[in-house]
Amino acid sequence: MDCVTLFMFVSAVIVLTITPGPDLFLIVGRGISQGRAAALFTAFGFFLAGFIQVPLLAFGLANVVAGSPALFDVLRYGGGAYLMWRGIVMIRNAGQGDTVSADHASTGAAIKEGFIASLVNPKSHIFLLAFLPQFVRPEDGSVMAQFVFLGILMRVVALVVEGGMALLAGSIGYRLRQSLKLRGWLERTAGGLLVAVGLRLVLMERPQP
């Protein structure tokens, strides 16, 4: 891959990463309500999901997800239900405990929720299927190797950008969370975002064949 194509690819990934969507909302919501660590771990969960999504794409299995209504529904209903349940738990437990313990308690769940939110979103697989092939050049060698390289590069760039957003949101949230009452509302907001993302998964339309 030449330098111009690589630059265009990285630029496109940056623009896509900062475009408002479920991933961005989860990271910002986590950062403001529960701190920088929770937001960073959420972004890291997205990154880890890529190590499953990219091989699926490279081996052509993303086409199966795109073309199988049953598998599409299993992913969106199962993943959506889990995220909504986690959001409801966060809302119910909002405002309990001190700020430090709340931040540490959230990090383990955050990486798992980021991982699941990305992995069970069928449209993220379909998006990769539509986006990455635009930058693959058969004349440059193994198509599978290019898919893997671009997929990993995409996740690394996204992790750097999302990490910066997580730190910014966490810094803003740190000041806001000094008020116990306000922290409770911020945690409810983060829980509401999880519920909203889960609901969005459940209600999304199937791709047209």
Q: What is the pLDDT of residues 166-203, one digit of tens each?
A: 998 888 877 776 666 666 777 777 778 778 777 876 77
* Domain coverage including residue 69: 22-203
In a domain, 9, yes or no: no
Please report how many Cα atoms fall inside a 13 Å half-sphere around the Cα of residue 15, on the Cβ side: 6
Residues 173 and 182: beta-carbon distance below 8 Å: no
In a domain, 195, yes or no: yes
Please choose, from the candidates 5, 168, 193, 172, the residue with its C-alpha nearest in 3D space to the C-alpha of residue 88.
193
Please choose, from the candidates 190, 166, 178, the residue with its C-alpha nearest in 3D space to the C-alpha of residue 98.
178
pLDDT at 97 over 80: no
In a domain, 2, yes or no: no
In the three-class reduction of DSSP (H, G, I as helix; E, B as strand; rest coil), residue 98 is classed as coil
Q: What is the pLDDT, as a whole number, of residue 164? A: 93
Total domains in the fold of the chain: 1
**Higher per-residue pLDDT: 106 or 83:** 83
In a domain, 130, yes or no: yes
The rounded mean pLDDT for the chain is 76
- pTM score: 0.69
In a domain, 51, yes or no: yes
Q: pLDDT digits over 150-171, tens only? A: 888 988 999 999 999 999 888 8
In a domain, 144, yes or no: yes
pLDDT at 22 over 90: no
pLDDT at 208 over 60: no
Question: pLDDT > 90: what percent of the chain?
Answer: 9
Q: What is the pLDDT, as a whole number, of residue 159? A: 93
